[in-house]
Structure 1
Amino acid sequence: MTRPVIKRESGQINVTFPTETTSDTPYALHRQHHLDYDHHQHLALDKVMNQLDRLVGLKHVKDFVYEIYAWLHITQQRQKLGLKSSQQTLHMVFKGNPGTGKTTVARILGHLFQEMNVLSKGHLVEVERADLVGEYIGHTAQKTRELVKKALGGILFIDEAYSLARGGTKDFGKEAIDCLVKAMEDHKDEFVLILAGYPDEMDYFLASNPGLPSRFPIQLSFKNYTVSELLAIAELMVCEREYQLSSQAKHKIRQFIAEEMRKPGKNFSNARMVRNLIEKAIREHAVRLLHHSHNTKNDLMTLSAGDFVPLSK
């Protein structure tokens, strides 16, 4: 993967990924020829693309968002000319390990749906099992209805959604599922429901409830980032915090990432792990410079290899 080009201009951080601009995916081809269309007609697309451009990788997800915009735009054009316009269910399932961008993409979709007048607010309400499931009969339905009400006009994002079915038929999680299904009917087109979680667990969750897959026709997979992509994410995070990496620090980060990826199990947290690594290094950097009497600007900005230590330390 070609390294990202990171520039700070007028207080904004702009990131471009050279390999993606030469890709043949719909999103990348459009980005490559972004001057060949009427920007005034596609202001919503420009806003969303600017957000997507800040994301490392996720090419197929970017293509999907571009596809959704195209469908919404053409549907609106057909409506203006009195043509039939098909309605599509926008409830979704996001499958992927932690730190693969699921919540970020959900938030971007909320912005897109607001810009395209699909949702009135476009905000994101992020919840998990504990927010939905109560402790006694009737409590779960009450909590779930309140969260749905809070999400109206936006997106209700349920992380680790498969946990709602873990307790079996007598568990209150089933009551939350039933309540959500009813809300999807009662508040049709008033909010978008996104269920997210580990791929295998989400597949099992959907298979265990025959009525759910048809209600979530859009299912997106968020793959683990590569080592190079995670290093690019690390550089972006460092730049956003107005730090910089020494060449030795970059090499050490790459080693850390590779070691973490080789560990067995499903605990690899992708960008989340990288963020924790960077934040830990910033604290180590501060300790290192604390008793230096004359720190230069370069000293205050540069994270060295020695600042990067195992997170378990």
Structure 2
Amino acid sequence: MDTPKGFGVPRPAPDAPVEVVEPEVLTDDAELDLSVDEAAARVEETLAALDAELVGLAPVKRRVREIASLLLVDRARRQFGLTSSRPTLHMSFTGGPGTGKTTVALRMAAILHALGYIRAPRVHTVTRDDLVGQFIGHTAPKTKEAIARAAGGVLFIDEAYYLFRPDNERDYGQEVIEILLTEMENERGDLVVIFAGYPDRMATFFSANPGLSSRVPHHIGFDDYDHAELVQIADLMLTSENFRFDDAAQSAFSEYLTKRVQRPRFSNARSVRNAIERSRLRQARRLVELRRPLRKEDLITLTAEDIYGSSVFLAETAGEGDVTRPSTSSQSASSFAQTNRVQ
């Protein structure tokens, strides 16, 4: 699996399958050391990568480690010839946008693959539009096609609650749910389904579908990042792209985050990445307008001017569709923003 830089999203290596060989059955008096097990080592490597990639999210990481431990022990039991039902691995990830749900799904696929629970460390992501048809007879083929593409891996259904629309009797989302119920039960050895979305809407979604809820034993909640974690995420992103804030820019970006999180449609790490990309645009324009030879330090440094150019600091502007009051913390913020109306 490719290792992402900073807060990037990991992608499975397309042509690097890892063969999982089931060991021979051990005798009753044998001892099994998980620390020297090759599959266990790959799992630990994946968990370490998850710790490095994602800031915070301690409860999420703890739950992922618990699931990994369950599967390691289940594998150890099989090595002693102890038979039991296969663990149900379908999951629900609840949280706001940009909180790491997709990244965790990709790492979970790597863990399940390393231990032989799926055939490939693959995550096929879909939304309602990929599953629900527009007319009678259209939904089943679309849903089955998505399931076929995810077979042997993980089917990640984002904003899954849109499949359930009780106010529309002719909506075909219920047909998708019925097909999923069948496939989740019949294909437990070849498919893991992860439902994802906002916590309150997902609670309604599962409460309205008791059959579906009973097939999803693992519910993992992703909290929004706090201010300090967002700053840390920004630093990781900058480092991965060979940029840095100077001291004034570090302070300005902290101020930016304080304002931005209060606005609608804030998307955690996603919004941080967008803010950095726009700061890079302003830096590029500033450097070109210097009309002098550039040094390496110029190219890697983002300044306060690049941050204060954001429309977040304007009195009334449509930065990401929001309106805010002018900054009173810095006179320079206002002057920069007046000439840079990009958030």
TM-score by length of 1: 0.84
CA–CA separation in structure 2 for the residues paired with 1:248 and 1:189: 54
**Alpha carbons of 1:42 and 1:209: their partners in 2 closer, same or farther (altered >3 Å)?**
closer
Once the 2 structures are TM-superposed, how far is the Cα of residue 14 of structure 1 from its aligned partner?
Answer: 8.0
Contact residue 158 and residue 196 of structure 2 kept, 8 A: yes
**Alpha carbons of 1:210 and 1:254: their partners in 2 closer, same or farther (altered >3 Å)?**
same
Once the 2 structures are TM-superposed, how far is the Cα of residue 69 of structure 1 from its aligned partner?
Answer: 1.6
Partner of 1:274: 272
CA–CA separation in structure 2 for the residues paired with 1:13 and 1:125: 22
**Alpha carbons of 1:42 and 1:13: their partners in 2 closer, same or farther (altered >3 Å)?**
same
**Alpha carbons of 1:201 and 1:13: their partners in 2 closer, same or farther (altered >3 Å)?**
closer
Mapping of residues 127-138 of structure 1, within 5 Å: 127-138=126-137
What is the identity percentage for the equivalent residue pairs of Structure 1 and Structure 2?
39
Contact residue 242 and residue 300 of structure 2 kept, 8 A: yes
Mapping of residues 183-198 of structure 1, within 5 Å: 183-198=183-198
Contact residue 97 and residue 222 of structure 1 kept, 8 A: yes
CA–CA separation in structure 2 for the residues paired with 1:73 and 1:193: 20
Once the 2 structures are TM-superposed, how far is the Cα of residue 293 of structure 1 from its aligned partner?
Answer: 2.6
Q: Deviation digits for residues 168-223 of structure 1, max 9, x if unmatched?
A: 34201111111111221232221110111111111111112222211111111100
Partner of 2:208: 208
CA–CA separation in structure 2 for the residues paired with 1:219 and 1:170: 30
CA–CA separation in structure 2 for the residues paired with 1:274 and 1:197: 20
Partner of 1:234: 234
CA–CA separation in structure 2 for the residues paired with 1:149 and 1:71: 27
* 2:227 partner letter: V
3-state SS in 2 of match to 1:212: helix
CA–CA separation in structure 2 for the residues paired with 1:294 and 1:259: 35
* 1:274 partner letter: V
3-state SS in 2 of match to 1:84: coil
Unaligned 5+ segments in structure 2 are 8-33, 313-318, 320-341
CA–CA separation in structure 2 for the residues paired with 1:153 and 1:12: 23
CA–CA separation in structure 2 for the residues paired with 1:213 and 1:12: 33
Deviates more, 1:65-74 or 1:42-51: 42-51
Partner of 1:144: 143
CA–CA separation in structure 2 for the residues paired with 1:94 and 1:68: 14
Contact residue 114 and residue 121 of structure 1 kept, 8 A: yes
Whose Rg is larger? Answer: 2
Partner of 2:23: none
**Alpha carbons of 1:217 and 1:159: their partners in 2 closer, same or farther (altered >3 Å)?**
same
* 1:100 partner letter: T
Contact residue 39 and residue 46 of structure 1 kept, 8 A: no
Contact residue 154 and residue 191 of structure 2 kept, 8 A: yes
* 2:283 partner letter: H
- Once superposed, what is the RMSD of the aligned Cα atoms? 2.1
CA–CA separation in structure 2 for the residues paired with 1:168 and 1:205: 15
Deviates more, 1:247-256 or 1:166-175: 166-175
Mapping of residues 59-98 of structure 1, within 5 Å: 59-98=58-97
**Alpha carbons of 1:77 and 1:39: their partners in 2 closer, same or farther (altered >3 Å)?**
closer
Mapping of residues 1-313 of structure 1, within 5 Å: 37-38=35-36, 42-53=40-51, 54-166=53-165, 168-263=168-263, 267-291=265-289, 292-308=291-307, 309-310=310-311, 312=319, 313=342
Once the 2 structures are TM-superposed, how far is the Cα of residue 46 of structure 1 from its aligned partner?
Answer: 2.9
CA–CA separation in structure 2 for the residues paired with 1:275 and 1:139: 38
CA–CA separation in structure 2 for the residues paired with 1:57 and 1:135: 41
CA–CA separation in structure 1 for the residues paired with 2:62 and 2:230: 20
3-state SS in 2 of match to 1:196: strand
* 2:254 partner letter: R
Once the 2 structures are TM-superposed, how far is the Cα of residue 304 of structure 1 from its aligned partner?
Answer: 0.9
State the number of aligned residues: 281
3-state SS in 2 of match to 1:290: helix
CA–CA separation in structure 2 for the residues paired with 1:190 and 1:123: 12
Unaligned 5+ segments in structure 1 are 1-10, 16-35
* 1:150 partner letter: R
* 2:143 partner letter: T
**Alpha carbons of 1:85 and 1:182: their partners in 2 closer, same or farther (altered >3 Å)?**
closer
* 1:109 partner letter: M
Once the 2 structures are TM-superposed, how far is the Cα of residue 37 of structure 1 from its aligned partner?
Answer: 4.9
